[in-house]
Structure 1
Amino acid sequence: MNHRRPFAALAACLALTGCGVVDQVSTASPPAAPSPTVPAPTAASGLGDSVKDAGDIPDPCTLLSKKQVTELTGREITQIDEDGLPAGDSNRFCQWQQAGGQLAVFLGRTTEQDFTVKIADATPVNDIGERAFQLAGHLYVLYGTVSIDVYSRGDSDDENLAEATAVAQVLIPKI
């Protein structure tokens, strides 16, 4: 089974800030690259520095333990699909295949303008990150210049959203 094909489609959706109809096109330039003389801090540096505005996007597979994924979703993990991308890639993902469901986390760089582009049928979600919305079963959260996309499947829509919200709340301090 090729697990990169769903990622490519979702990455394209993420690049468009969701899977709906885009009402405007951003002309914002990407965030400036970190200075080559001073390495950008990463969540994995052990320094507790955030990459919310600059630095390498962390590998989502390293941000949640198997135990945390099981506790947050109530489902046992049957397989973990990693993106296999090198450190420094601006879009990362991890999928935890589960008995009766799935949890997927996508992280990528964005701008507030791109994130807030109006998406048809998006539902705002309060009290998580700087901005958040739900669309097509995904929870999209803005944290600085990081877009967090959490997809939980296996329960009712309300339970899946609650699980995705709990996952995002665990991820934010680690990014």
Structure 2
Amino acid sequence: MTRRIIVLAAAALGALGLAGCQQDAGTTTAKPSTPASAEAVASAPASASAKPSAKASGSARPSTGTKEAGAVPDICKLMSKAEVQTLTGESVTLMTDDGGSSSTSRYCQWQLSQGQLTITVSLETRENFDIRNKQAQPVIGVGTTAYSLAGHLYVWQDGRDVDVYVSSESSDPANLSVARRTALQLLPRLEAASK
């Protein structure tokens, strides 16, 4: 009999504990994390999808951007294959366009004879953009603000987060140099196409 009472008491305490946990779960005040970029959804290789880890640990508010929905133009139309070849020094073997499936994020990827160039543009608030991983390195002279992390160059300008990933060169500094030149060429076109 005593054993049965102990088992029932333990079961009752367990049920109360679970009920308390479920009640607390409904009242959590944690902010949602930043949505994944189109790059994470795209067929880019794993090394190109470092954007989620680029943000500092801790969560950010969902991106609302300062541009209205649909303000992200087709990236593949802003740069020709010949320009990509000139920037990277490699032949373009395949170009992949996102097809405009999202009104707030677009990407274009050029597979090269060696490596790739991927550009992703997403609507983003400056506040969310400024949440960074401690390993991010500032990059001066590109956009309003820019930094590099894990082989990516992230640039914020006028409500947009521009992510340029290059893997055609033999070193990270060389890839960053190509990414920087690419961003400098793309940013004015992006602004003009969005007006």
Using the size of structure 1 for normalisation, the TM-score is: 0.75
Counterpart for residue 4 of structure 1:
42
Conservation of the 8 A alpha-carbon contact between 1:24 and 1:117? no
Conservation of the 8 A alpha-carbon contact between 2:66 and 2:124? no
* Structure 1 position 174 matched with structure 2 position 181: no
Which of 1 and 2 has higher RCO (CA within 8 Å, sep 6+)? 1
**Percent identity of equivalent pairs:** 34
2:61 to 20, 23, 27: 27
User: Counterparts of 1:96 and 1:29 in 2: how far apart (Å)?
Assistant: 27
The alpha-carbon deviation at position 31 of structure 1 amounts to 4.0
1:147 to 147, 153, 161: 161
Counterpart for residue 163 of structure 1:
178
The alpha-carbon deviation at position 8 of structure 1 amounts to 9.8
Summarize deviations over 1:83-137 as a string: whole Å, max 9, x none.
Answer: 1224x61110000000011000000000111000131311111111011000000
159-168 vs 25-34, greater mean Cα deviation: 25-34
| Unaligned stretches of 5+ residues in structure 2 | 1-40, 191-195
Counterpart for residue 106 of structure 2:
92
Aligned-residue Cα RMSD (Å) equals 2.5
How is 1:22-171 mapped onto 2 (pairs within 5 angstroms)?
22-27=56-61, 30-31=64-65, 34=68, 56-86=71-101, 89-155=103-169, 156-171=171-186
The alpha-carbon deviation at position 29 of structure 1 amounts to 6.5
Amino acid aligned to 1:173: P
User: Counterparts of 1:32 and 1:4 in 2: how far apart (Å)?
Assistant: 24
Summarize deviations over 1:110-169 as a string: whole Å, max 9, x none.
Answer: 011100013131111111101100000000000110100000102121111010000000
Larger radius of gyration: 2
User: Counterparts of 2:113 and 2:59 in 1: how far apart (Å)?
Assistant: 40
| Unaligned stretches of 5+ residues in structure 1 | 35-53
